[in-house]
Chains A and B, each alone.
Chain A
């Protein structure tokens, strides 16, 4: 699959983009979880490659990353895991920049992008890489046909949004609220404000940070989003379950619930303002 397939995953209807950490608690479990999420309705899978200093993540995902690292997850094993996945949705790798830098010899990032593309990764999200520092990675992504997803935050100025849109591919990740990742019980007002001020774009806008319920998914799509990203709500279920099969069931169910929320949405918008595109 290629960078365009990531964008295409948002075509038919607003997409559900679940996130889990690879290797939490084992590669085999992750395979089962990804399959369950796809059965539940996932259109794109965001698969975390764990880094020891996840500054953009809240407590839930920090702990999942710790579990995955303790269980021995590495970049090489991550790519093996992606190779073994038997699903037909695009896989987007979310990780931090240092792991890319160390993967090859001599601090270049192309080796990782090349091997990731070969293993079946269609896109990358690097939360500690703002557009200012992304030149080298962008070139590598272009060369190997991998999407490079950027985040737009509530604090991002209009001028920065322009700069980000120029360089992003795949989709644009709209951070719904301030702070770090983590499930919340409401949809932030920031979410609507963020969506309203975004210009029309070729790329889909997927909203994340705090999504955990059917209602959230509906409200976000009615607010104009082209997709919904949810992570901590799935990671919580992985942490709670005693057996892999139980967690997989819970993930399938939760994904189906969020997908139903997306489908509940009245896209011609009565509840919330018109769509952004």
Chain B
């Protein structure tokens, strides 16, 4: 279990690139992960599963989207993580980690958040398990995800605004790591995706794998077969890895990671800006936030500001395991731009009566390009109530035909 072995590597990706001050905590977490999660010591995993059911509302349904199926001529099934308590898959991980922190005897929880969904899930889990909790969130994200800020505060969490840089997830993560470097002895840092130093990518994947465990079983029970493809959006990649994990050995099941194409691909050199968050498809290898992975960066290695209409996908890195699965050809990275994601948001809302998160809308949007025979499973990683303000504003700006006309309500 020592961190000198290759446990935390996925090909050349992963590892533990963190300041020395954090290494003992990372080793302690590695040890706790192996004992509680892998070996179910003290019945940890049973406790976790029971709480996911009783507090989280698992299992979530796999439901056929009849109207989309008719539209595409392919059976489309939706894995409804939007119905998980809190409205996103994020609770699977947050609950697992806060519970683990409790088993480890930690006394305080910190987390970073982008869209606020992970912050909200962590705040909920911390309230439920009676742990003090502080969330770091970039100023830009605070402004575009207000309802989630209120939710975190409502659960009793402190929300610490981060003003540096573009004020999004990257900066919030830097700041959470700095807090952890100061408080590591009594604090657990709940990373929100399959990123960061080992054991986080593996551990978060394990907590999220419940999505594909259920989906695989439901698929066999309801469809009598496995799907032809699983489609999930990828920011850091936690809902992605969660939705893919149990299918990785099923060679006939294609796996599509849908990244945010934003308003254009590539990095604008000299601008230190990428108008997208497509690190899997267009990034290059580097080290960020504790792991070697694919990043959006300049030729010199400065990490660039990313962009997506969806705050939860707006991140310059991606999970190392996912990066490796792409290199191995097991996962196909694709991307969908802001406009297509917005259109898909409206389409699912109008045709299926489900308002998806803007993140999940990227996965839904990929159906427009998908040309298999089906059946396919689309992971609806979260619900879109938090995004309504953004969507109304962005749809009006673009004059989207799919969007409802809000003009009559103008005062």
Contact = CB atoms under 8 A, between A and B. Distances in A.
Nearest to B23: A130
Interface in A62-102: 62, 66, 69, 74-76, 96-102
A273 interface: no
Given A107-B285, A179-B182, A99 B300 contact: yes
The listed residue with most B CB atoms (<10 A of its CB), out of A69, A101, A160, is: A101
Contacts of B21: 151, 153-156, 175, 178-179
A53 B174 CA distance: 7
A178 B184 contact: yes
A113 to B, nearest CB: 15
Contacts of B23: 130, 132, 153, 155-156, 160
Interface in A33-82: 51-56, 58, 62, 66, 69, 74-76
Contacts of B289: 53, 55
A176 to B, nearest CB: 11
Interface in B267-325: 272, 284-290, 295, 297, 299-303
Interface stretch (B12-20, B100-108, B133-141): B12-20
A97 B178 CA distance: 17
B164 interface: yes
Interface residues of B, number: 39
Contacts of A130: 16-20, 23
A192 interface: no
Nearest to A177: B182
A75 B300 CA distance: 7
Contacts of A52: 165, 272, 302-303
A149 to B, nearest CB: 11
Given A53-B170, A55-B174, A55-B177, A153 B19 contact: yes
A100 B300 CA distance: 9
Contact of B286 (A102, A157, A164, A175): A102
Contact of B24 (A66, A157, A180): A157
Contact of A156 (B24, B300, B303): B24
The listed residue with most A CB atoms (<10 A of its CB), out of B272, B289, B302, is: B302
A152 B302 contact: no
A180 B182 contact: yes
B79 to A, nearest CB: 33
A31 B22 CA distance: 34
Contact of B20 (A55, A100, A103, A153): A153
A133 B300 contact: no
B66 interface: no
A171 interface: no
Interface in A111-168: 127-130, 132-133, 150-157, 160, 164
B181 interface: yes
Given A55-B19, A69-B302, A155-B184, A179 B286 contact: no
A148 to B, nearest CB: 13
Contact of B287 (A58, A128, A154): A128
A170 B284 CA distance: 33
A107 B183 CA distance: 33
B185 interface: yes
B411 interface: no
Binding site secondary structure of chain B: mixed
Given A102-B286, A153-B20, A178 B181 contact: yes
Contacts of B170: 53
B17 A97 contact: yes
Contacts of A107: 285
B4 interface: yes
B25 interface: yes
Nearest to A112: B301
A153 B284 CA distance: 32
A160 B165 CA distance: 34
Nearest to A69: B302
Interface string B224-245: 0000000000000000000000
A156 B20 contact: yes
Nearest to B185: A155
Contacts of A175: 20-21
Interface string B22-46: 1111000000000000000000000
Contacts of B300: 74-76, 99, 102-103
B390 interface: no
Contacts of A155: 20-25, 184-185
B3 interface: yes
A129 B178 contact: no
Contacts of B18: 128, 130
B389 to A, nearest CB: 30
B301 A102 contact: yes
Interface in B79-138: none
B199 to A, nearest CB: 13
B299 A102 contact: yes
Nearest to B177: A55
Which 5 interchain pairs have the tightest Cβ spacing? A102-B301, A179-B182, A153-B21, A52-B302, A99-B301
30 contacts: A52-B165, A53-B170, A53-B174, A53-B303, A55-B178, A74-B300, A75-B300, A75-B301, A99-B301, A101-B285, A102-B284, A102-B301, A103-B300, A103-B301, A130-B19, A132-B3, A132-B16, A133-B16, A151-B19, A153-B21, A155-B23, A156-B21, A156-B24, A157-B24, A164-B20, A178-B21, A178-B183, A179-B21, A179-B181, A180-B178
Given A133-B16, A133-B17, 15 more contacts: A52-B165, A52-B272, A52-B302, A58-B178, A66-B164, A76-B300, A99-B302, A102-B286, A127-B20, A128-B17, A130-B16, A153-B20, A155-B185, A175-B21, A180-B181
